[in-house]
């Protein structure tokens, strides 16, 4: 996740030693060079030894418009790469559009607000079932606001959800055959937290694989 000083702003997922995937809207208020990226399980810089990296560049998807919700994805290039350890690992990118389907249980994680309205000081996680776009675009849910680049997850009953402070963090799904974890979604938006018929909405990473791979291979923003 990336922070400024000791203030947590957004989550992220390490997709290679030198690149982090996150949400584009995380950079709407501040210049990215004022941020650092830190791998850890606890806020307040207490869980040492820690790895902190400065940002070299941020690639925001070229179709993203601040204030809107489509194409809410960004890739951070680090000035120096993370060292992979037992506790700090990269996550795989999705393999195909059909790899994980409706009802599959995935894990969302972050330092966002909990039931008491306070940000968590330790990394939290919650299991959430994927919800197909047909159900999520029903007029009683989000209607036409749901696009092909989005993925809903959670319970229509509002049992569990991500919340403020979780933005940019991963929705991770584990392949039942290989056992590998894949970055299926990025925490993007929603209405309130845990309300009925208002599940969390995530950027559907699989839809952006060509762009992500182009950014990483060329170290520049791409138009695809």
Structural domain boundaries in the chain: 2-90+209-218, 105-207
Q: Which CATH code fits 2-90+209-218?
A: 2.40.10.10
Question: What tens digit of pLDDT does each residue of 174-210 get?
Answer: 999 999 999 999 999 988 877 888 999 999 999 999 9
Give the whole-angstrom CA distance, residue 164 versus residue 209. Answer: 26
| pLDDT at site 27 | 86
Within this chain, domains 2-90+209-218 and 105-207 share the same CATH topology:
yes
Question: What tens digit of pLDDT does each residue of 110-122 get?
Answer: 876 666 666 677 7
Query: CATH fold of 105-207, please?
Result: Thrombin, subunit H (2.40.10)
- Reply yes or no on whether 72 is catalytic: yes
Residue 3: pLDDT band with limits 50, 70, 90 = very low
Quote the Cα angle for 69-58-56, to 5°: 165
- Reply yes or no on whether 167 is catalytic: yes
Give me 71's structure tokens: 């194409």
CB 219 within 8 A of CB 75: no
Candidate list 8, 9, 61, 72, residue with the active-site label: 72
* pTM for the predicted model, two decimal places: 0.90
Residue 72: pLDDT band with limits 50, 70, 90 = very high
Give the whole-angstrom CA distance, residue 120 versus residue 8. Answer: 10
Contacts of 178 (CB under 8 A, 6+ apart): none
Candidate list 109, 120, 167, 172, residue with the active-site label: 167
Candidate list 2, 25, 61, 182, residue with the active-site label: 25
Residue 159: pLDDT band with limits 50, 70, 90 = confident
- Reply yes or no on whether 120 is catalytic: no
| pLDDT at site 183 | 98
CB 203 within 8 A of CB 63: no
């Amino acid at each position: 996740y990336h922070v400024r000083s000791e203030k947590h702003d957004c989550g992220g997922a390490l997709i290679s030693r030198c690149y982090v995937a996150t949400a584009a809207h995380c950079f709407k208020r501040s210049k990215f060079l004022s941020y650092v990226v830190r791998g850890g399980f606890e806020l307040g810089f207490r869980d040492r030894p820690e790895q902190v990296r400065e940002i070299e560049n941020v690639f925001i998807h070229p179709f993203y418009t601040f204030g809107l919700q489509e194409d809410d994805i960004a890739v951070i290039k680090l000035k120096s790469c993370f060292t992979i350890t037992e506790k700090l690992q990269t996550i795989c990118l999705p393999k195909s559009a059909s790899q994980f389907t409706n009802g599959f249980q995935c894990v969302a994680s972050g330092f966002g607000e909990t039931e008491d309205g306070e940000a968590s000081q330790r990394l939290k996680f919650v299991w959430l079932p994927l919800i197909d776009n047909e159900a999520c675009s029903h007029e009683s849910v989000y209607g036409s606001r749901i696009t092909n680049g989005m993925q809903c997850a959670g319970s229509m009953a509002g049992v569990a959800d991500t919340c403020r402070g979780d933005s940019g963090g991963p929705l991770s799904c584990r392949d039942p055959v290989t056992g590998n974890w894949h970055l299926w979604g990025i925490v993007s938006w929603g209405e309130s937290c845990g309300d009925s018929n208002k599940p969390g909405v995530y950027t559907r990473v699989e839809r952006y694989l060509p762009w992500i791979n182009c950014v990483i291979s060329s170290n520049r923003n791409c138009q695809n």
